[in-house]
A and B are shown apart, each in its own frame.
Chain A
């Protein structure tokens, strides 16, 4: 008979070992799945995935950029999650920031100097994201409206707004695409450092990461977020205005998402599509959760997920599979890591069914 009891606290190193073990096990299972479904040698597949992420310097920088973007969204979602506010609306908040950035680049490029354009984008994109997050937050604060579904629905509303704008802006009638914005003039493009066009994004996100860590761990706001997340009653007891904290935190959460939208449009893609965020709003939830909401640990977890994503792209071209395969592997790895938490939080005691007879 197995009896389960709660652990007090597992040492960090041991917990990490459990998680790494889970990942190793997951890769093994993924290998088996790969062989079964595709008939390929899993080692070839992994080698090819590795190649997809690290193969060339360009691929490596693309991966770093992807990590930075995913990390930035995850960082954005973190303060909300710490407060137990399930912000599944990262996708929409990123899109709103991106939409505003694109609008500035398209409509203002000829009207204002580039410096002012950047200032406008840097202010307006976070504002757009913040507003998009604040709407569900206000309703959550006032009427305790279910935020999980509200933020989720806001994603689709944002997607449709973008779709509408794309048709308005499309490069040639009926193409349904905006095309590269300011392709010849490069106005509003985030500058390359040296000839590396992604380095600035990586540096900016690194800055956000440190700032978010400091904010959560050492600021008064961060402390209030932690208290509200742990116990609303305690917050009330201390005179913390819970509603205000919810709205304030979601403004921040949305603003950082909006900033990510700016990075994507101005720094990486130089165009806008409805799938610009690429599911980062959802993947970010898992990145944040896997890292137990620690900003620095999130670097690792976003790295893992981006590696899977890019590796999957590589194998889909190399072996003629499609992108869905990467999602399957990601799903399997997530299942294992999620499951491994159990062995970190609980202890299994194996004992004989019959309690030993007394003398």
Chain B
């Protein structure tokens, strides 16, 4: 490492978001030429904020940045480009109605003629050098996620960027696509470029990076050479002390184990006619947690929304089993219902959606009104009753240790973990028989995550049928009873979480193989 030249030197970077926790607190970071640096940390540890400060999206409250030994001020993305720094954000910064080529040349003004065909030629050269596959004439709105990401990277290389920052680039990719990306990253390293990959996945860190810098709760937790470390040490640095996930999985034995939701041959298309779920069939049982694994966008959202009455499937059925007595079964069909009708049938179905502030809660409303979202229809009076929701809000704040100035505070001013506690607290308050939850611990710290796991387990103990859509395979394997794996809208299998392995799940997420529970 000693012979490597320092490319970027960040010192004492501090960034504070209006009253919330310090996103970055006095962070130092070095980046060398010709290396792949992994920036590791849990969700919310300030990785993205730090890199946004380097890429000119945020301006740090204090701290210095040096590029090749020279102190610089990066106040805008343009400043960053001028210093050879570029970033691929998690949410792609592409103009949907533009072609790949238009997106690539956007913002470049070399004073020369505006000549798209010359630009196309240069793009082809870049693609040949690094091994990309891009059609310059294709519109971004017609591209797959992986293609869009490629356009983003080509865009940076086209600008002659020397330091590339990739923010969780594999989150949206299949393993094959991720491998291809890693190859490209190695090509870039060989060309002498610095690549910073933001991630929280240890296996990626170990397989691709040369060096690892770790952030913990907004502070710098240390750096190590990848060759001299291991997963355990990195985890320790990330979470501060050694923890195995150690999630509880109580054995619940409902007196009367039975099917709760029975999904048969469910097919869902979006409004553009793309098939999102393809002939999906499975059952959930009371007193169990059924995990749903899969690369994001494999139909998880559509599956939950179809059960909750928010999506109208193209075909197939979703049955709610009210009760079974011997061979006799009392069943309600949920397809064609909306949440109000489902509730009117007396079915208590709760749903913690992925988009907490955009769907599950209303950010600009206070805690009490957010509690009321579920209950405002109660009673025949044309007026709302605010007393009960206020009491519920007090109770949730109290029982789940929500950190808030009071129940009259707007939800959007709370931190992610507290927002989630309010949403989950409200959804389980009605003692649901079915609890659907999507990415329920995303962005939460370890403590909050465990609290949520406990809440889910308590629902399971109460006989609820819990459906848990997750992304972290370790969590799925430790928390759930069974795991259903989705791949491209199809069920590639259902496995027993007690015996399944990560490798097995990973395989099923990408191919149509696997076991039957």
Q: Mark A residues whose CB is within 8 Å of B.
A: 1, 3, 5-9, 214, 218-224, 226-227, 230-231, 233-234, 236-239, 241, 347, 353-358
Residues of chain B lying within 8 A (CB to CB) of residue A220: 376-377, 382-384
**Within 8 Å of chain A (Cβ to Cβ): is B477?**
no
B358 lies within 8 A of A234 (CB)? yes
Most chain A Cβ neighbours within 10 Å, of B12, B19, B365: B365
Give CA–CA (A239, B338) in the complex, Å: 6
Residues of chain A lying within 8 A (CB to CB) of residue B362: 226-227, 230-231, 234
Most chain B Cβ neighbours within 10 Å, of A221, A231, A354: A231
B340 lies within 8 A of A239 (CB)? yes
Give CA–CA (A9, B363) in the complex, Å: 13
With contacts A230-B362, A230-B365 known, what are 18 further pairs, Cβ within 8 A?
Answer: A9-B410, A218-B383, A218-B384, A219-B383, A222-B384, A223-B372, A227-B362, A227-B373, A230-B364, A231-B359, A234-B358, A234-B361, A237-B351, A238-B339, A354-B73, A356-B62, A357-B64, A358-B12
CB within 8 Å: A-B pair count: 80
Distance (Å) between the CB of B310 and the closest chain A CB?
A: 6
Residues of chain B lying within 8 A (CB to CB) of residue A224: 376
Scan residues 46-79 of chain B and give those whose CB is less than 8 A from a CB of chain A.
Answer: 59, 62-64, 73, 75
Q: How many chain-B residues does the 8 Å CB contact rule pick out?
A: 41
Give CA–CA (A121, B315) in the complex, Å: 51
Give CA–CA (A26, B64) in the complex, Å: 42
Give CA–CA (A7, B308) in the complex, Å: 37
B384 lies within 8 A of A358 (CB)? no
Residues of chain A lying within 8 A (CB to CB) of residue B363: 230
Residues of chain A lying within 8 A (CB to CB) of residue B351: 237
A239 and B358 in contact, given A223-B384, A227-B373 (Cβ under 8 angstroms): no
Residues of chain A lying within 8 A (CB to CB) of residue B369: 223
Residues of chain A lying within 8 A (CB to CB) of residue B410: 9
Closest B-chain residue to A357, C-beta based?
Answer: B64
A237 lies within 8 A of B413 (CB)? no
Residues of chain A lying within 8 A (CB to CB) of residue B358: 231, 233-234
A236 lies within 8 A of B310 (CB)? yes
Residues of chain A lying within 8 A (CB to CB) of residue B62: 355-356
Residues of chain B lying within 8 A (CB to CB) of residue A9: 410, 413
Q: Mark B residues whose CB is within 8 Å of A.
A: 11-12, 18-19, 59, 62-64, 73, 75, 308-310, 338-343, 351, 353, 355, 358-365, 369, 372-374, 376-377, 382-384, 410, 413
Distance (Å) between the CB of B285 and the closest chain A CB?
A: 25
A239 lies within 8 A of B63 (CB)? no
Closest A-chain residue to B378, C-beta based?
Answer: A220
B373 lies within 8 A of A234 (CB)? yes
B309 lies within 8 A of A239 (CB)? yes
A237 lies within 8 A of B353 (CB)? yes
A239 lies within 8 A of B361 (CB)? no
Give CA–CA (A117, B158) in the complex, Å: 77
Give CA–CA (A233, B376) in the complex, Å: 17
B338 lies within 8 A of A234 (CB)? no
Distance (Å) between the CB of A221 and the closest chain B CB?
A: 7
Closest B-chain residue to A224, C-beta based?
Answer: B376
Distance (Å) between the CB of B13 and the closest chain A CB?
A: 10
Residues of chain A lying within 8 A (CB to CB) of residue B310: 236-237
Residues of chain B lying within 8 A (CB to CB) of residue A239: 309, 338-343
B360 lies within 8 A of A234 (CB)? yes
Residues of chain A lying within 8 A (CB to CB) of residue B75: 1
Give CA–CA (A224, B384) in the complex, Å: 11
Partner of B359, one of A221, A222, A226, A233: A233
Closest A-chain residue to B412, C-beta based?
Answer: A8
10 intermolecular pairs with C-beta atoms under 8 Å apart: A7-B18, A220-B376, A223-B376, A227-B362, A230-B363, A237-B353, A239-B339, A239-B343, A354-B73, A355-B63
Give CA–CA (A8, B358) in the complex, Å: 19
Distance (Å) between the CB of A4 and the closest chain B CB?
A: 10
Give CA–CA (A163, B383) in the complex, Å: 42
